[in-house]
Amino acid sequence: MKEKESIVDCPQQQVILYVEKDDGNYGPVQTGSYLTRNYLDDYELKRKNLEESLRKKIAAREASPVYYYMILEELTLSELSARAGIRKGKVKKHLEYEGFQKLGKDSLLKYADVFNTTADQMLGMVTGIEESRPE
């Protein structure tokens, strides 16, 4: 890549690239990130839409907060099972709304640790839904 081709106006994220300079030598050039400049807003919009659709699934009782975080963190069932130290069969049950309702405190704390959140935040996702539902 030539030096002129490497220049990107993106002050949010700077990178160092090794490029061919005008004099024919190679060396470092500080420039903006091409990906951040051109694709970050698209990624953020897609992530926001994904979060919204997952929250709707929880509100419809089609999924649990465990499922919500697993999808957002891009974990597989096996990865989540290994990180939480909970059998895959149990994790699979906890992905469903009814299974999450039966979740013990120890397991909830393990999930919260894996997802870098609190048990209260995970429970709040369900509690807020139940409080807003008419009886």
Domains of the chain: 3-32 (no CATH), 44-132 (1.10.260.40)
Count other Cβ atoms within 10 Å, centred on residue 16. Answer: 9
Q: Taking a C-beta distance cutoff of 8 angstroms, is the pair 63, 96 a contact?
A: yes
pTM: 0.73
Per-residue pLDDT tens digits for 1-42: 888 888 888 888 898 989 988 888 899 988 888 888 888 889
Q: What is the DSSP letter of 19?
A: E
